[in-house]
Each structure stands twice: as structure tokens, then as C-alpha cells.
Amino acid sequence: MKQFPPSELLKSLPKQFFASLVKKVNKEIAAGHDVINLGQGNPDQPTPDHIVEKLQEAATKPINHKYPPFQGFSYLKKAAADFYKREYGVTINPEKEVAVLFGGKAGLVEIPQCLLNPGDTILVPDPGYPDYWSGVALSKAEMVTMPLREENHFLPDYRELAGADIEKAKLMFLNYPNNPTGATATKEFFEETVQFSEENNICVVHDFAYGGIGFDGQRPISFLEIEGAKEVGIEIYTLSKTYNMAGWRVGFAVGNESVISAIELLQDHLYCSLFGGIQEAAAAALNGPQDCVRELNALYERRRNLFIDGLHSLGWNVTAPKGSFFAWLKVPEGLTSSQFADLLLEEAHIAVAPGIGFGELGEGYVRVGLLTSEERLEEAVRRISTLEIFEK
């Protein structure tokens, strides 16, 4: 069969790091091993019943068998605005300050294409969510990394950035609760960010994917809660984590009107919005009872406590995450993150994500997803103990 070469644009895209991890895991499974997969970020609980039932009901409606409005149904935008008012006290204009997204990832990849020209600079956290890099590549922009260091609670220090990079920057990605570190942001940090972006004319995109998951009685802060935040940026919210709707591919962007307008213009050329049944179900999730959100948060907190306490009992000095469903664990001295991940997979049949896959400053850590039962997490601790790596 004749082979048609891909475009230079496709060739420029970053390598999908997790694809190689999946291959390694599948190889161990094919060899007959019982692998405890803590390497990915796929929620393991079902979508709450009332949301599924709304989709089932909505699927029978003839209006949802037609093309939906290009920019989404107004009821979903209103539900997003009502959600932000109820949860964060933030007033959102549903007509001008909400864009419906095919999941949060789509928005994150689209944003650089909406606001940047080839050669423009974007500030990206290191370590950070690898799909930020995809949007940078597609927009042919230049990426400058912002170091996230443990000694600064995995918050960027804007004083570390070179003046020339700040002057050229037009866009910045932030993400709290953070993937991969599990760190959370403070009000003071977000206030500093608003001031920094105002002074340097940088649009802030806050990836709030894990906004529904915070521990120790601390509720994650929305960037838009900060005075002036809507003037300088947007926030991207996905229903994937808060409501276990990862496979439904639905989220939204809220905030600065000009940025929302740019997203909707690009999407007008790419899509004809989401299936109406999913939009109805998403509105039901946002408007409906929130007991399921609190119960899910409590489940992740129990898993975190059990797993981190178990690792401490082995002598592994790790820090408990403050939010998200990830734990960011220092690897033993003398091993790289990839070497340690391979050791856990090959010797203990536990899959974790090497930190290097999230950026250069991810080296020295592995990311663990708390996305399996407490029994399996206990079994993971037991298996690690048999390696006798740590001193109690």
C-alpha cells in the first residue's frame, strides 16, 4: 500500500510519553503478571446514577438528534455560570464568558492556537501536564518553562524568569491542584499572579481540572475568585474528575470575554458542539445534588492516607498531596525516575509514571495515581516492602 507522509506539523508534535508506558504495562500483563496500574490518571469510579439517567432520558429527545448550536446550548452555559456563583462566589456572564469544550484537554490544546502567533512565547510549568506541549507545538510558539520546586511548595517563582522571556511572553499555563505534584495554590500566590500578568500583559490560563479534589478540609481555590483575575485570564474546568465523566469529554472555559470569543471562533471551524444528550447530562451534574462530589473527595482522601501512611511505615519519606488524585514521590538515591519505575514494574508489578515524562524537573520523582481500591493500594505497599529498598 502506498504510504503518504505526514505533514511537517505532525512531525513537530511531542512524543506521547504515556504511550510507551502503556506498552510496558501491557507487556507485563501479557506475560501473565498481575499489574497494579498506578501510572495513569483515569478515574476508576462510575459516573453518578442521576447523571447517567439524565443522558438516557435526553437521548430519546428528537431535538438532541439534530445538530446542536455551534457554541453549545444556553442551558449548559447557564449551568456553568450558576456553578461558579454557587461554588466560588464568582459572577459569570453565561452568554459571553463561557465556552463549552470537548473536555478540558481540548481547550488547553486550543488556547495557544487562539492567542499566539508563530514564535510567540508561552510560560509552561515544569513539571507539568504533557499535553500543554501539544498546544505549543500546534501554534508553533516558543515554550519557556517555569520551575516548580518542592522547596517553594511547587509554585513558580516569577523572579526566576529572565526579563527577556517575561517581555516576550503572551500566555501562561497554571494548574492547581497540580498534576503531577498534588500541590495546591494559595490566595496570595494567585494575587501575585494577577499582578504579574497585569504588569506584563500575559494571559493566564488556569487548568482547574482537579478543582473538586482537596484534602484536610482545604477546598481548592479558583483563580477567578481573585479580584482582577477575569481581566487577565480564564479558567478551564472539566467534569472528568469532579463527576467521574472522563469518557464523556465535556468541560468548559470561563473568564475573560475576548479569550472565550477566540475559543468559540476556533471551535466554530472545528466542531458543531457536543451531542445534546451529553450537554443535558453535564448541566444535571453541575446543577444537581453535590453529595457525590463530597463522597468522591472523601474516598480519595482515605486512599491517600492509607497509601502514604503505608509508605511511611516502610521508611519511604514521601509528602502527602494536598489535592488531586496523584501522589508525587521522591525516588531512592542512585536511581533515575525511569529506572525506579522500571524496577517497580518488573520486580513488584506496580506501574507508576516516571517524573521525567512531565519535564526536566520531574526527574527524581514518580507519579502515582490513587485510582484503585484501598485493598490494591495496600497490596502495592506490601509488594514494595518485599523489595527492601528503604530503611525503617
CA-to-CA separations, 262 to 115, 257, 267, in angstroms, rounded: 8, 9, 9
CATH topology for 8-46+292-387 is Aspartate Aminotransferase, domain 1 (3.90.1150)
| Stretch(es) of the chain classified as CATH 3.90.1150.10 | 8-46+292-387
pLDDT of residue 84: 98
pTM for the full model? 0.96
H or E element at residue 29: helix 17-30
- Tell me where in the chain the CATH 3.40.640.10 domain(s) lie: 49-287
Mean pLDDT on 146-155: 97
Which of 131, 129, 185, 187 shows the shortest CA–CA distance to 154? Answer: 185
pLDDT of residue 389: 87
pLDDT, mean over the chain: 96
What tens digit of pLDDT does each residue of 59-76 get? Answer: 999 999 999 999 999 999
Q: CA 10 to CA 227: how far, in whole Å?
A: 40
Confidence (pLDDT) at 81 = 98
What integer is the mean pLDDT of 244-257? 97
Which class is domain 49-287?
alpha beta
- pLDDT score of 392: 64
